[in-house]
Structures are given as C-alpha cells and as structure tokens.
Amino acid sequence: MDSIPIVCFPHAGSGRLYYSQWQHAFDATIDLRIVQYPLREQRTLTPMPSSIGALAADVFAEFEEVFRGPYAIWGHSMGSVIGYEVSKLCQERLSNPPMAFFSSGAAAPCRVGFTRVKDLDTPEGFRSVLLRYGGAAAQYVHDPDFLRHFAPAIKADLRLLSGYRDTAFQQLRCPVVVMLGRSDTVTAEQWEHYTAHPLEVHEYDGGHFFLDEHRASMVSLMEAKVQLAWQLRSAEGVDDAPGARGPGARVPG
C-alpha cells in the first residue's frame, strides 16, 4: 500500500511545530499533513477567519486535491471540531468522506463550547484559562516571553471556538474513532450520533494532553485503522473520486 494522507488539525494555540514530531512516528504507509492555522509560525500575519465554518472552508480549499483521494482526518481538542466541519465539506462537495475520522481530547461537536471569553481580556483570567485547560505548564503561564509569543493565537482560537454551535448532528459516512484521557473532563457522550458506523472509544492514562505520553500507541491505532479502511475500500472495488490522485502521490500543502 502506498502512503495515505492523514490530515492533522492541531489544538488551540498550536501549529505545525508541535505536531512535526508525529510525522516521524508514522511508518511509510502514512503521510501526515499538518494544517497551519492563521496567526502562528509562517502565518503570523494572516488574519483569522470570522468563524469555525469560514476556517474550515479555507482549509478545504487548501487541501482539496488531497481530499479528492483516499485520506483520513485527525484532530485534537479544537482541531477535532475543525476537522469535523472539513469532513462535512468533503462529503457535500466531493462525495468523498474520510476513510476514518480520529478525534482526540474532544467532546462531540454538539457539546463543544468555550464560555470563558471574558477571562481572555485580563492577564489573571488568561492564566487561569491556560491552567484549567492544560495548554501550558505552570512555569510558562507566568513567563512573559511565552505569553507574548503564544497568547495571540491561543486567544484567537478560543474566541473562534466560543462562537461555535452544532445542532444538526450530521453523520460522517466513515468510522469515527475517539481517543480520550482518563483524567480529562471530556467524555465520548453523544459522539455516536456523528457516525453511521459503530463508535470506537479508546482511553489512555492522563489528562487533556495525554497524547504527549501515548504517541506510539496512538500512531499504531491510527495506522491500523487506515490500513483496514484501505483494504476494505480495495476489496469493495471503490475507485478514487473523479479527478483524484493516486494514494502515493504528493500534493503541496
């Protein structure tokens, strides 16, 4: 089997740098593509879209050629919401859902929400948010250089998340695999409404950022699920969508 893209959607405040080490963890069957949101790294001066839906539309346009072939999607925390919205666009516009949708550290879309927007306006409130959601170690929360560098992206992402609401419960036409930390407050409740397949839930020791300690086992799980989906797709004689590239082709982006 040639390499198949898994398109990775980072969590709030994060970008390609954080997930770059995951690229080397997958074997040659997986080509990890990391989405880069505005206001960070090489896109520091790119303005943030006005909504999750608008951001999803931008990502869809950037990766459309990837989404025309076989692919999977993985999102952590806020990235799961954006990945879900992009998956819906792939179904609606290309009739080509992902072979598998992986969500880690995220509630079902209908349960997603950030209500502490006002806390982002004060240094004390912002530090409290960071400590509550585990996005930074305690020593960095009081580091002015860390805050100056990362605060704009984190705040923009959380404000974007605060305006997101899902009431449609639109199902993805693919397996959904949910990965959660046993000590996290996030649960798998209502995720079953978002897939036409039996829901899979895998738990790991740790809190919201359990992924830092369980990279190897998460990678093995995602590799196995993508390979199984590809085998089933091949056995059923499903061709790539019209105009699709082959699974081993590389597309910039």
Query: CA–CA separation, 233 vs 101, rounded Å?
Result: 15
Q: Which pLDDT score is estimated for 252?
A: 26
Q: What are 188-223's pLDDT values in tens digits?
A: 999 999 999 999 999 999 999 999 899 999 999 999
Domain ranges of the chain: 4-106+169-235
CATH class held by domain 4-106+169-235: alpha beta
DSSP 30: E
Number of residues that make up the chain: 253
- Among 46, 105, 50, CA closest to 74: 105
Residue 237 has pLDDT above 90, yes or no: no
Beta bridge partners of 9: 75
How open is the CA angle 133-76-81, to the nearest 5 degrees?
Answer: 95
**Model's pTM, two decimal places?**
0.90
pLDDT band at 28 (very low <50, low <70, confident <90, very high): very high
Distance CA 12, CA 18 (A): 11
Backbone angles phi, psi at 102, to 5 degrees: -110, 125
Reported as a pLDDT band with limits 50, 70 and 90, residue 146 is confident
CA pair distance 74, 107, nearest whole angstrom: 14
Residue 243: per-residue pLDDT: 36
pLDDT of res. 251: 27
The per-residue pLDDT for range 113-139, each reduced to its tens digit, is: 889 999 999 999 999 998 877 566 667
More confident residue, 88 or 144: 88
7 pLDDT tier (thresholds 50, 70, 90): very high
The rounded percent of the chain whose pLDDT value lies above 70 is: 91
Average pLDDT over residues 29-56: 96
pLDDT of the residue at 248:
33
The pLDDT of residue 250 is 28
What pLDDT is recorded for position 132? 76
Percent of the chain beyond pLDDT 90?
78
